[in-house]
Amino acid sequence: MRRIDWNTLDADGCREALARPARRTENRVADVVREILDDVQARGAAAVSDWSVKLDGFAPRRIAITPEAIAAARDALPPTATRALRIAADNVRVFHQATRPEDSPWIETTPGARSRLVWRPIGAAGLYVPGGTAPLFSSLLMQAIPAEVAGVRERVVVTPPAKDGGVHPAMIYAAGEAGLDALWLIGGAQAIAALTFGAVFDDGEIAPVDKLFGPGNAWVAEAKKQASARPGGPAVDMPAGPSELMVIADRDADPEIAAADLLSQAEHDADAQVILVSESRANIDAILAEVERQLETLPRAAVARASLAEGRAIRVRDMAEAVEVANLYGPEHLALQTVDADSLVDRLTAAGAIFVGAFAAETLGDYAAGPSHVLPTDGAARTLGGITTASFMTSMSVQSVSEAGARALAPVAASLARLEGLEAHARAADLRSGS
């Protein structure tokens, strides 16, 4: 990890210190993704199959989530794993049921003029679940369950095949917990293209979806971005690319815990980025030494080491400055390992998820606490939040006006319409004024 003293930097240096890995935006990714989208738009399922074989080694396949498939998956997993999956699914469902938006009451702004806000689920959601080297069945729960709670009619899940072309039994069991009827084994930009344009395969059809969801690598993130920019393309949840974690650790933070949290994100992907921020040079030294010690025994050490090459260890003047750095960076995950962690929360304005105190491991949020771990990356946390039940819904205002209300409001509306030079608007209001 690169060491940086924040107070020695000018404005350009500060921006460079908080820059994301360059590969996330390199032209080659954008060009190949554009080629894949164009090909799938032109040739449909044949193009999806060709790219899947070329990039993943296997053609797309539909996996039916039947009682028999769920039972077989359960038998293939240890009881501790199935119990953990059930608990995680229950916690995700409880949290999202409790935070599901509700229709507002009628609000009378003028006597006789009432308005309210109502919420409705979107029709079809495309859910991308990362897989391949590390099947993230937790991401399936974190998307499919909020969509279910929202009332989405069609939930289409795509996930890359495993190295042997199959699917991890935990993915099937998680799909059962989420109430899904199928999974599609398709990954990468070609999966996003299939969700965008639709594709008819021998074993089933993927219809175009209304909105794309889910985290992914640089290719998936770019595909979502380009798909949403196409005429009539789907909406997207947020930029949700390679993982990010910032740890703010004061001089009293436990180096072993801070290092473990940094490595928990570094092992995700070579493009993942971890940043340590502290006012204590001694604790930065201790944490980085602990990172090296723990790294030696990690199964995914090579991936983590590649990620750490893009990491930063930033020394700041105090915790107030640490908060400023966090707000500038807008991390996907922000861990506060400080004595006064609770007091820092009120000053934070940009983070996908905040983990308060030494016991609030980011890993708990990844798997079992309840809120979705699908969160904005690349600084999007400055304006966007993570997936909630509301992400799978739209809101509509409903207005009801009585004759008396129209008489009161029409002259106001007509006057403003004429001020804007819109006479037809004004006449439509006049007709309701009774004059």
216 SS3 class: coil
φ and ψ at residue 337, rounded to 5 degrees: -110, 70
Sheet holding 113-121, edge to edge: 107-110, 113-121, 393-401
- Residue labelled with tokens 């053609």: 59
How far is it, in rounded angstroms, from Cα 76 to Cα 206?
29
Task: Say if residues 377 and 244 touch (Cβ distance below 8 Å).
Answer: yes
Catalytic annotation, pick one of 96, 168, 333, 373:
333
Predicted local confidence at residue 65, as pLDDT: 97
Topology annotation, domain 44-237? Rossmann fold (3.40.50)
* Burial track 277-293 (b if 16+ CB lie within 10 A, e otherwise): bbbbeebbebbbebbee
* Burial track 14-28 (b if 16+ CB lie within 10 A, e otherwise): beebbebbeebeeee
Domain boundaries, the chain: 2-22+241-385, 44-237
- Cβ-based burial of 435 (10 A; exposed 0-12, middle 13-18, buried ≥19): exposed
DSSP string, 124-180: EEEEE---TTS--HHHHHHHHHHHHHHT-SEEEEEE---TTSS--HHHHHHHHHTT-
Catalytic annotation, pick one of 267, 290, 332, 362:
332
How many C-beta atoms surround the C-beta of residue 218 within 10 A?
Answer: 22
Identify which of 249, 286, 240, 245 has the alpha carbon closest to the alpha carbon of residue 267. Answer: 245
Quick one: CATH architecture of 2-22+241-385? 3-Layer(aba) Sandwich (3.40)
The tokens for 302 are 């090579």
Predicted local confidence at residue 400, as pLDDT: 96
Predicted local confidence at residue 270, as pLDDT: 86
Active site residue 332: yes
Predicted local confidence at residue 26, as pLDDT: 67
How many C-beta atoms surround the C-beta of residue 264 within 10 A?
Answer: 21
Predicted local confidence at residue 312, as pLDDT: 95
Q: What angle do CA 370, 375, 380 make, to 5 degrees?
A: 150
Predicted local confidence at residue 380, as pLDDT: 92
Active site residue 373: no
- Cβ-based burial of 181 (10 A; exposed 0-12, middle 13-18, buried ≥19): exposed
How many C-beta atoms surround the C-beta of residue 295 within 10 A?
Answer: 19
Predicted local confidence at residue 419, as pLDDT: 97
Element (H, E) at 250: none
Residue spans of the chain under pLDDT 70:
23-26, 132-133, 435
How far is it, in rounded angstroms, from Cα 79 to Cα 367?
17
What CA–CA distances, in Å, run from 433 to 229, 402, 412? Answer: 43, 11, 10
Q: Which residues, in sequence order, are bridge partners of residue 229?
A: none
Chain segment 161-196, per-residue pLDDT in tens:
998 899 999 999 999 999 999 999 999 999 999 999
Element (H, E) at 218: helix 218-229
Chain segment 66-90, per-residue pLDDT in tens:
999 999 999 999 999 999 999 999 9
Predicted local confidence at residue 241, as pLDDT: 75
Task: Say if residues 52 and 59 touch (Cβ distance below 8 Å).
Answer: yes
400 SS3 class: strand
Element (H, E) at 189: helix 188-197
What CA–CA distances, in Å, run from 372 to 84, 114, 171, 361? Answer: 16, 35, 17, 15
Matching fold, domains 2-22+241-385 and 44-237: yes
